[in-house]
Amino acid sequence: MKKFVPKSVHIPTGMETIDFRIRILTIKDARNDYEAVMSSIDHLKGVFGPDSTWPSADLTLEQDLIDIGWHQKESQSGSSIAYTVITLDETSCLGCVYVYPSEKVYYDARVILWVRESELKKGLDEKLYATVKKWLSEEWWFSSVAFPGRSISWQEWESLPNR
């Protein structure tokens, strides 16, 4: 399998719009991330696939901190990259973006993103999705990115052959 991040590539640390900032997720984001997740439990069910059980109502701050630490380590190693979507004043987590290598043929990367439930009526989900698609096409090295559950259904995604 090809290395996810080529040696000649610099992983983008983030980007900013007039509405939000996207930057690498770190353990310093645990409290804001936890609050966003727990305020949106029902909305987030299935974001990582129809069989995903994340998040559960019994998720603790400590468990979320461990998850974030894992994401931070993966971002440092370049095996996947996790971003927080945060207000410009950095006081509230609005969601997350995860960039993973694709295990499926035809795609270089698989991207999962979510926004907290309170931001749906404000149109943030659509804005974030459009922004991330543009960002990936302009600043990343991928030729083909899948957004399972968005640009391709989970059923279609699962039916694709693995590499």
Domain positions in the chain are 14-159
Question: What's the full length of the chain, in residues?
Answer: 163
Which residue from 38, 32, 31 is spatially nearest to 55, judged by alpha carbons? 38
Q: Assign domain 14-159 to its CATH architecture.
A: 3-Layer(aba) Sandwich (3.40)
- Please state the rounded mean pLDDT for residues 141-161: 96
Q: What residue spans of 2-152 are helical by DSSP H?
A: 30-38, 41-44, 61-77, 124-139
Which residue from 160, 47, 49, 52 is spatially nearest to 107, judged by alpha carbons? 160
| 54 pLDDT more than 60 | yes
5 confidence band (pLDDT: 50, 70, 90): confident
Whole-prediction pTM: 0.95
Phi, psi of 148 (to 5 degrees): -55, 135
Which residue from 109, 29, 21 is spatially nearest to 67, judged by alpha carbons? 29
